[in-house]
Chains A and B, each alone.
Chain A
Amino acid sequence: MNCGPPPPPPPPPPPPGDLCFFNLNWDQSIDPNGEISSQPHYVAAAPLNSPPKLDLSMISHLHHTQQAQGSLPISEGLMPITHLDQFPTDSGFVERAARFSCFDGGGGGYAGFGRSLTANNVELGNAREESSVSDPASASGEVSLKGPPFESNARKRKAAPKGKGKETCSTISSNDPPKNSEAKDPNAKKCKLGESEGTKDDSIKPKVERNNASTTDNGNGVQKQGKNNTKPPEPPKDYIHVRARRGQATDSHSLAERVRREKISQRMKLLQDLVPGCNKVTGKALMLDEIINYVQSLQRQVEFLSMKLATVNPNLDFNNLPNLLAKDMHQTCGGPLVNSIFPLETSGVALSYASQPQHGNLLNCSIANVLENHCSINPLDSALCRTMNTHHPYFNGIGDAASQMGTFWEDDLQSVVQMDIGQTQEMVVSSQSFNGPSESVHMKMEL
């Protein structure tokens, strides 16, 4: 149940605000405090039931009081520390709430809508409590504004963590005396400020827990609790859900920082897999050292190998090369199970690079093609060339040390050869000529 975007504080009540209002109550009604006391006779109106997301148990907190003063509601059965709060400053909220017909179920009285936590809530030891709403007949903000200016200490609680940042709300709220609901006007203003901060924060950081988000939306002023209190009924789909453990900071900055740290450690793990020798190292600094060394060694290796290739290349007679390779192939051509072995060395590890004869042919051809060489194919290889035409090159890397290199070439050369065969006209022609009578084929590739 994603609550809508945070509704603007000004009086015109947007529908998302209404939704959020109900979400809030729903959230809180799920709290595992056994506070769900069924008082179904307070369910007055059908429209309240109509939103499918709404849990009916919230109604149990609907305390209908006939007193216009909004005194403390009586919640039977439980021992909640309950404050009935009026929101004299948030006229928009009052109007919004008053639009629900459920609130005039009392028929003209004030509907105290009290939410409470029980006293055996160990974590908070305090109540969260909610709003009182006037009925729509008198639903102007004026009326409630003129009511006794009660302030929810919940609001104060919300305002406080914004300022303190690191402190968890639970500690703050537990410090709140339960009878703190008497409000002074400057306090209310301060809280309003905190509220606007809260909404802004939510729009910036959607990772704040849903519970927090939904409550800051409509200014009902319930916020972060300890972990065992926080039961978001349904994880939001599009948000990264960050859940603060007990004792962790819960403001948005800390949450974002925690996400970032998780991301970094995840990438570090990724790098640990990539960089050899990084597994033994503990500590990020040493790991960074290893990574730096590895990157440097790889770059040096590239340099060194390019030098080596530069020395090798001019001496290399490309016309001889395919012959040489073809000779290798012929040796393995007789027995299909015998593999031609190309010794390869990669980073000091001697790799025995084994392949089926077809693959040897493919390897030669692909390299020869790309290097624009004359490739002389022995007639004995015509069968192998046929397999090349059927685009079923088969390559098998054998040897544990060769597995890495084997997969490398397996991946590469298949598609390289196929690509070359498929795309180059000359290659098609020459490969057709491979199928011809057994004679030495001279082919020239152009890229």
Chain B
Amino acid sequence: MTATGSPGNPNPNLSKPMLVHHFLRALARVNRAAPKQSHARRSRRIRCAAYASMAAAAGPGRRWSRVLLRRLRSSPSSHRRRISVRVARPPRIATASSRVETLRRLVPGGRSLGYCSLLEETADYVRWLDAQVQLMQSLVDFFSS
């Protein structure tokens, strides 16, 4: 899945129907499973659902979506364990600016990427994130109206 297609077609494979589908299903699941949960928990679950639906709609072709799904699917305890086990990453050569490092932290799975592929992943991630935000915003407006 090469999301960076020709510049004339900015979103070659941004399948928003799938995004809507996944997110609304996840939202329904959250509502069904936890109708009486606290607000913080609900919002956290919804946030996780948003990211997961985004990654699921994007498919496994991108690194950020794979990393995001893996991170979300693994339970917090196992996640913590995995981090503790993980070998410390060799320190990156400090030629990269702090901005690039910040971007690496922001994009899921971007820590191990080179600069070039980091930009590619960022472009794809931004696209999907934008779509997700639009969807959520429209839902909020829809529900609150």
* A residues at B contact (CB < 8 Å): 260, 263-264, 267-271, 273-275, 285, 288-289, 291-292, 294-296, 298-299, 301-303, 305-314, 316, 321, 342-347, 353, 366-367, 370-372, 404-405, 408-409, 411-416, 419, 447
**Is B136 a contact partner of A263 (Cβ separation < 8 A)?**
no
**Is A447 a contact partner of B28 (Cβ separation < 8 A)?**
yes
**Is B43 a contact partner of A306 (Cβ separation < 8 A)?**
yes
**Is A302 a contact partner of B20 (Cβ separation < 8 A)?**
no
B126 at the interface (CB under 8 A from A): yes
**Is A309 a contact partner of B133 (Cβ separation < 8 A)?**
no
**Is B21 a contact partner of A370 (Cβ separation < 8 A)?**
yes
**Is A295 a contact partner of B136 (Cβ separation < 8 A)?**
no
Task: Classify the interface of chain B: helix, strand, loop or mixed.
Answer: helix
Q: Mark B55-85, 1 if CB is under 8 A from A, else 0.
A: 0000000000000000000000000000000
Question: Interface residues of B, CB < 8 Å — how many?
Answer: 59
| Interface members, chain B 104-144 (any A CB < 8 Å) | 106-107, 115-116, 119-120, 122-123, 125-127, 129-144
CB distance from A260 to the nearest CB of B (A): 6
- The chain B residue with its CB closest to the CB of A308 is B140
**Is B46 a contact partner of A344 (Cβ separation < 8 A)?**
no
**Is A302 a contact partner of B47 (Cβ separation < 8 A)?**
yes
If the complex has contacts A260-B116, A309-B136, A371-B24, are A273 and B129 also in contact, measured as CB distance less than 8 A?
no
**Is B39 a contact partner of A292 (Cβ separation < 8 A)?**
no
If the complex has contacts A292-B103, A416-B20, are A321 and B132 also in contact, measured as CB distance less than 8 A?
no
CB distance from B132 to the nearest CB of A (A): 6
**Is A302 a contact partner of B122 (Cβ separation < 8 A)?**
no
* B residues at A contact (CB < 8 Å): 4, 7, 10, 16-17, 19-21, 24-25, 27-28, 30-32, 35, 39, 42-47, 49-51, 97, 99-100, 102-103, 106-107, 115-116, 119-120, 122-123, 125-127, 129-145
If the complex has contacts A264-B116, A416-B21, are A344 and B137 also in contact, measured as CB distance less than 8 A?
yes
Cross-chain pairs A/B with CB under 8 angstroms, 28 sampled = A260-B116, A263-B116, A269-B7, A274-B127, A288-B103, A291-B126, A295-B122, A295-B129, A298-B129, A301-B133, A306-B43, A306-B136, A307-B46, A309-B136, A309-B143, A311-B43, A312-B143, A312-B144, A313-B31, A342-B145, A343-B141, A344-B138, A345-B137, A345-B141, A346-B137, A367-B24, A408-B135, A411-B16
CA distance A274 to B103 in the complex (A): 15
Interface centre among A289, A291, A296, A413 (most CB of B within 10 A): A291
If the complex has contacts A299-B106, A346-B137, A370-B25, are A310 and B123 also in contact, measured as CB distance less than 8 A?
no
**Is B46 a contact partner of A408 (Cβ separation < 8 A)?**
no
Residues on A with C-beta less than 8 A from B131 are 408
**Is A371 a contact partner of B126 (Cβ separation < 8 A)?**
no
Interface centre among A264, A311, A313 (most CB of B within 10 A): A313
CA distance A256 to B69 in the complex (A): 34
CA distance A294 to B127 in the complex (A): 11
Residues on B with C-beta less than 8 A from A408 are 16, 131, 134-135, 138
CA distance A414 to B119 in the complex (A): 32
CA distance A288 to B97 in the complex (A): 10
**Is A310 a contact partner of B39 (Cβ separation < 8 A)?**
yes
CB distance from B41 to the nearest CB of A (A): 8
CB distance from A322 to the nearest CB of B (A): 12
Q: Which of A270, A353, A404 contacts B4 (CB 8 A)?
A: A270
Q: Assuming A347-B137, A370-B28, A371-B28, what are 18 further A-B pairs, CB within 8 angstroms?
A: A264-B116, A291-B126, A298-B133, A301-B136, A307-B43, A309-B139, A309-B140, A310-B43, A312-B143, A342-B141, A342-B145, A346-B137, A347-B133, A353-B138, A367-B24, A367-B142, A370-B25, A416-B20
Q: Which of A289, A295, A311, A371 contacts B27 (CB 8 A)?
A: A371
**Is A419 a contact partner of B21 (Cβ separation < 8 A)?**
yes
Residues on B with C-beta less than 8 A from A321 are 143
CA distance A261 to B122 in the complex (A): 17
**Is B125 a contact partner of A295 (Cβ separation < 8 A)?**
yes
CB distance from B7 to the nearest CB of A (A): 7
**Is A416 a contact partner of B17 (Cβ separation < 8 A)?**
yes
CA distance A313 to B123 in the complex (A): 32
- The chain A residue with its CB closest to the CB of B143 is A312
**Is A289 a contact partner of B126 (Cβ separation < 8 A)?**
no
Residues on A with C-beta less than 8 A from B139 are 309
**Is A291 a contact partner of B103 (Cβ separation < 8 A)?**
yes
- The chain B residue with its CB closest to the CB of A324 is B145
Q: Which of A271, A273, A316, A343 contacts B119 (CB 8 A)?
A: A271
